[in-house]
Copies of this chain bind each other. A is one copy, B any other.
Amino acid sequence: MILTVTLNTALDVTYRVPRLVPHTSHRVAEVSERPGGKGINVARVLAALGHEVTATGFAGTGPAGTLLRGLLAEAPGVRDALLECGGDTRRTLAVVDAASGDTTQFNEAGPLITPGEWSAFLRRYDGLLRQADAVALCGSLPPGVPVNAYAVLVRGARSAGVPVLLDTGGEALRRGVAARPDMIKPNASELASLTGSREPLPATLDARRRGAHAVVSSLGPNGLLAATADGVWRAAPDRPLSGNPTGAGDSAVAGLLSALVEGLDWPERLSRAAALSAATVLAPAAGEFDPRAYERLLAAVRVVPE
């Protein structure tokens, strides 16, 4: 199975309003809630691709955590191996302006994780690694978790011989990269913050020198740029797409990891990741993907050596 780790799970709430006007009052006609946090999104896409997948990390025992786990239980194919924590799971709110389609996002910080809860998680993680073919470490760290958390988890995976992909930003990424994960998947802003450069190619190569065995940078409409031991490639659909980019990075992670587990080579991994990512942008609901659009896009993605 593939293991996804979401230390800072979230109950993702979406409010749809006719038009967002700051400093006024809005009636919210449509509210939707779904289990979230990057690793949870990755797990859902992996399950949709037919992979056996287990989601771990923390979930609170309060209202948001309880609802998250209830909704996760309804999602087909994702095994819930989340660990309970005393604080409640955070909520994230996306306010979608129906007029423009634009989204305004509010992200709560997450519960305070105690040292005891963190130790308990490390034991749970070690146990799950024994059954894992690959692991994805995804998203922000909740308060209380040590800032070198991802370095610890990367080293755990590497000593268990399990390929590990790290998808995070800021200091958590900087520390995690130094532990030499098999892959990282920074977006443009995470890449710039890691390397100090806003030029994708030099920054991607620099990120690799900092410790990651492979770096796959997700560059929005410009697709993916991968620096690996086997070569450097760009992967993107043959023409630009417009839609909702929410969750496109998580779909790319699911594409990379599933293709790795299936023994595909780098160009094939990148085709899949770019096609899944594009299918997510095209889907009407944020973070979903349309399997038929995915099949179609798989043929339309161009992977070009740099």
Question: Are the C-beta atoms of A24 and B105 separated by less than 8 Å?
Answer: yes
How far does the alpha carbon of A67 sit from the alpha carbon of B31 in the complex, in Å?
19
Copies of this chain held together in the complex: 2
Looking at the assembled complex, report how far the CB atom of A59 sits from the nearest CB atom of chain B, in whole angstroms: 14
Looking at the assembled complex, report how far the CB atom of A148 sits from the nearest CB atom of chain B, in whole angstroms: 21
Contacts A63-B64, A63-B67: A24 and B93 contacting too (C-beta < 8 A)?
no
Looking at the assembled complex, report how far the CB atom of A168 sits from the nearest CB atom of chain B, in whole angstroms: 15
Pick from B93, B97, B103: contact of A93, CB under 8 Å: B93
Chain B residues in 8 Å Cβ range of A109? 27-29
Given A22-B97, A23-B102, A27-B107, 16 new contacts (CB under 8 A)? A17-B106, A21-B104, A22-B22, A22-B102, A23-B97, A23-B100, A23-B103, A25-B106, A25-B107, A26-B105, A26-B106, A26-B107, A28-B108, A29-B109, A31-B108, A63-B67
Looking at the assembled complex, report how far the CB atom of A196 sits from the nearest CB atom of chain B, in whole angstroms: 22
* Size bracket of the A interface: 20 to 34
Contacts A63-B64, A93-B93: A105 and B22 contacting too (C-beta < 8 A)?
no
Question: Are the C-beta atoms of B17 and A20 separated by less than 8 Å?
Answer: no
- A95, CB-defined interface residue at 8 Å: yes
0/1 per residue, A43-75, Cβ < 8 Å to B? 000000000000000000011101100000000
0/1 per residue, A160-172, Cβ < 8 Å to B? 0000000000000
Contacts A23-B97, A93-B93, A97-B23: A106 and B15 contacting too (C-beta < 8 A)?
yes
